[in-house]
Chains A and B, each alone.
Chain A
Amino acid sequence: MKRLLTWFYRFLTWLMIATVAILVVPVTLQVVSRYTDLIPAYIWTEELARFMFIWMVMLGAMIGVREGTHFEVDVWPALGERANASLRIVSQALVLVFALVFVWWGIEFTRFGWEQVSEIAELPMWTIFIAWPLAGVAWVLFLGEHFLANIRILRSSTA
Chain B
Amino acid sequence: MTGVELTTGGAAAILFGGFFLLIVLRVPVAFALGLSCLPILVIEPRLSPMTLFNETFKAYNSFILLAVPFFLLTANLMNIGGISDRLVRLSRTMVGHFPGSLAQINVVLSVFFAGISGSSTADAASQGKLFIDAQVKEGYGLSFSIAITAVSAVLAVIIPPSILMVVWGGVISTSIGALYLAGILPGLLIAGAQMATVHAYAKFYKYPVYPRSTLKEFLVAGAQSIPALLTPVIIVGGILLGWFTPTESAAVAVIYAAVLSMLVYREMDRKKLVHALSETGKLSAIALFCVGTASVFGWLLAYYQMPRLLLDNVTSWGMGITEVGFFIAFAFLVVGCFLDAIPAIIILGTTLQPLAESVHMHPVQFAIIGIISLAFGLVTPPYGLCLMISCAVAKVPLRFALKDTMIMLVPMMVVLAACIIWPEIPLFLPRLISPEFLK
Contacts and interface: CB of A to CB of B under 8 A. Distances in A.
Interface of A: 13, 16-17, 19-21, 23-24, 27-28, 30-31, 35, 46, 49-51, 53-54, 56-61, 63-64, 67, 69-76, 78, 87-88, 90-91, 94-95, 97-98, 101, 105-106, 108-109, 112, 128-129, 132
Given A53-B66, A57-B292, A28 B255 contact: yes
Interface string B149-174: 00000000000000000000000000
Interface string B34-57: 110010000000000110110011
- Mostly helix, strand, loop or mixed at chain B's interface? helix
A20 B53 contact: no
A75 B277 contact: no
A19 B290 CA distance: 19
B274 interface: yes
B62 interface: yes
B27 interface: yes
Contacts of A74: 26, 382, 398
Contacts of A49: 63, 66
Contact of B25 (A16, A17, A87): A87
A90 B31 CA distance: 13
Given A31-B244, A31-B252, A106-B53, A17 B281 contact: yes
B60 to A, nearest CB: 5
Contacts of A53: 60, 65-66, 69
Contacts of B179: none
B247 interface: yes
A96 B223 CA distance: 55
25 contacts: A23-B69, A24-B251, A24-B255, A28-B251, A31-B244, A53-B69, A56-B69, A59-B281, A60-B284, A60-B285, A64-B286, A69-B282, A70-B28, A71-B287, A72-B26, A73-B23, A73-B26, A74-B382, A87-B26, A94-B27, A98-B34, A101-B52, A109-B50, A129-B53, A132-B57
Given A31-B252, A54-B61, A69-B286, A94 B31 contact: yes
Nearest to B291: A57
Interface of B: 22-31, 34-35, 38, 49-50, 52-53, 56-57, 60-63, 65-66, 69-70, 73, 243-244, 247-248, 251-252, 254-255, 274, 277-278, 280-282, 284-290, 292, 338, 340, 382-383, 385, 397-398
Interface of chain A: mostly helix, strand, loop or mixed: helix
B383 A105 contact: no
Given A27-B247, A31-B244, A57-B289, A20 B385 contact: no
Given A20-B69, A50-B62, A64-B286, 13 more contacts: A21-B277, A24-B70, A30-B248, A57-B284, A60-B285, A64-B285, A70-B30, A71-B287, A71-B383, A72-B27, A87-B25, A91-B27, A132-B57
A75 B24 contact: yes
Nearest to B286: A64
Given A21-B277, A28-B255, A94-B31, A61 B38 contact: no
Given A27-B247, A63-B282, A129-B57, A46 B63 contact: yes
Nearest 8 CB-CB pairings of A with B? A60-B285, A70-B28, A61-B289, A27-B251, A109-B53, A20-B281, A16-B281, A73-B383
A17 B280 CA distance: 9
Nearest to B385: A71
Given A31-B251, A101-B49, A95 B31 contact: yes
Contacts of A129: 53, 57
A131 to B, nearest CB: 9
B329 to A, nearest CB: 22
Given A53-B60, A98-B34, A20 B23 contact: no
A72 B29 contact: yes
Contacts of A71: 28-30, 286-287, 290, 340, 383, 385
A56 B285 contact: yes
Contacts of B28: 70-72, 91, 95
B27 A95 contact: yes
B26 A57 contact: no
A24 B25 contact: no
A89 to B, nearest CB: 11
Contacts of A59: 281, 285
B293 to A, nearest CB: 9
B287 to A, nearest CB: 8
B156 to A, nearest CB: 18
Nearest to A135: B289
Contacts of B69: 20, 23, 53, 56
Given A70-B29, A98-B34, A60 B286 contact: yes
Contacts of B385: 71
A60 B292 contact: no
A51 B290 CA distance: 18
A115 to B, nearest CB: 16
Contacts of B285: 16, 56-61, 63-64
Contacts of B35: 94, 97-98
A105 B52 CA distance: 9
A140 B280 CA distance: 25
